[in-house]
């Protein structure tokens, strides 16, 4: 259990909060991956980019938790891609039911599905960076 509990609302509201969290984590992971592969492709040390931006507005708990693992090429699952994909499918189903647009989430879910098809479904969801690495023909890692 967490240190604090927040009553979100009526029955089902907590599930919506969980799904909203999964959207934000997925999009943070995708943005981080795209940015770090961009830096690496440009020939800039992605670890130094991480250290430079982590204290600014682009910094996040996701960045701090996942970038050190990515730099070590450690994709042992904390949150496996398979489970995050399942959660995003639940987001999709809920979004369809309430007519909510989720274009970014849908795109990130497709990236995760591509990684599953590539045999990486048990990698940590931070392993989503491998999608961009494959496209750019670079690998983000500690120098």
Residue 1 has what pLDDT?
53
All structural domains of the chain: 13-136 (1.10.1040.10)
Q: Which of 18, 113, 116, 134 is labelled catalytic?
A: 18
109 and 43 Cβ atoms separated by less than 8 Å: no
Say yes or no to pLDDT of 100 above 60.
yes
Tell me if residue 18 is catalytic. Answer: yes
Name the token pair of 26.
């997925």
Q: What does the pLDDT average to over 60-76?
A: 96
Average pLDDT over the chain, rounded to an integer: 95
pLDDT of residue 81: 96
Tell whether the model's pLDDT for residue 50 goes beyond 90: yes
Alpha-helical segments (H) within 5-140: 13-41, 46-53, 61-71, 81-98, 103-117, 129-136
Residue 31 burial (CB count, 10 A): 16
Tens-digit pLDDT profile for residues 3-40: 778 888 888 889 999 999 999 999 999 999 999 999 99
């Amino acid at each position: 259990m967490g240190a604090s509990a927040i009553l979100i609302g009526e029955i089902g509201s907590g599930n919506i909060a969980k799904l909203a969290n999964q959207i934000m984590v997925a999009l943070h992971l995708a943005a981080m991956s795209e940015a770090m592969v961009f830096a690496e492709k440009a020939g800039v040390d992605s670890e130094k980019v991480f250290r430079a931006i982590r204290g600014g507005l682009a910094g996040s708990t996701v960045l701090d938790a996942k970038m050190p693992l990515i730099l070590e090429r450690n994709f042992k699952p904390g949150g496996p891609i398979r489970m995050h994909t399942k959660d995003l499918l639940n987001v999709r189903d809920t979004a369809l039911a309430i007519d909510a647009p989720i274009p970014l989430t849908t795109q990130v879910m497709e990236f995760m599905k591509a990684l599953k098809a590539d045999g990486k479904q048990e990698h940590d969801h931070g392993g989503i960076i491998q999608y961009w690495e494959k496209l750019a023909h670079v690998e983000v890692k500690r120098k």
